[in-house]
Amino acid sequence: MSLQIGDTAPDFSATTTSGEIDFHKWIGNGWAILFSHPADFTPICTTELGRTAQLKAEFDKRNTKVIFVSVNDLSSHEGWVKDINATQNTTVNFPVIADPDRKVAELYGMIHPNASTTAPVRSVFFIGPDKKIKATITYPASTGRNYAEILRVLDSLQLTSEYSVGTPVDWEVGQDVVISTAIKDEDIPKNFPKGHRVVNPYLRYTPQPNI
């Protein structure tokens, strides 16, 4: 199944290290990020889950829940979490979905047969409060994720969901954003009272409106 931006994130029930969940109910009214990882007790995955736990305050600040899935069973996850806590000097504070029958992995298209017929790639699904997929990032098993970029994308998605703006190349929080071309010139002052500058008719900047 090939999921695209704007699709409703498939709902499912699953066993996790935090108990049984119904995915959409678990998300609630906030944002969520669903990560897949190739397998338990693997080095790159261990560093990623450790980093995720260390960034709990950053995800909380953004009203975002995080959850991981792999095709290992619950007993494997529980043993691996102990390794993560010990080697990464943290405490895993989010659910890890047990998916030995690959139900969730297949539902979200996390297994790419030309890479591996059994192990998921490193998928990232950003899911909004409306349960729709807002962005995806996919990495091969050999490449660890960049969490600065994951947080940057999340900041951009949350900003642009509230204001008629886009974030330009290499944008970071605090930098100017681009006014949507749907906003007429005469309507800019009332929509963006912090001011704006015009480069050309379709490229108009304004200070980030939510800070």
The domain ranges of the chain are 13-144, 163-206
Question: What is the Cα–Cα distance from 71 to 132, expressed in whole angstroms?
Answer: 24
Model pTM? 0.95
Buried b (16+ CB within 10 A) or exposed e, 152-183: bbbbbbbbbeebbbebeeebeeeebbbbeeeb
Provide the CATH number for the domain formed by 13-144 in this structure: 3.40.30.10
For 163-206, which CATH superfamily applies? Answer: Antioxidant, Horf6; Chain A, domain2 (3.30.1020.10)
Question: What is the Cα–Cα distance from 134 to 27, expressed in whole angstroms?
Answer: 14
pLDDT in tens, the chain (211 residues): 589 999 999 999 999 999 999 999 999 999 999 999 999 999 999 999 999 999 999 999 999 999 999 999 999 999 999 999 999 999 999 999 999 999 999 999 999 988 887 889 999 999 999 999 999 999 999 999 999 999 999 999 999 999 999 999 999 999 999 999 999 999 999 999 999 999 999 999 999 999 9
Quick one: pLDDT at residue 78?
97
End-to-end CA distance of the chain: 39
Q: Across-strand partners of 66?
A: 33
Q: Which of 27, 32, 45, 153 is catalytic?
A: 45
Quick one: pLDDT at residue 1?
52
Quick one: pLDDT at residue 202?
97
The reply to whether 45 belongs to the active site is yes
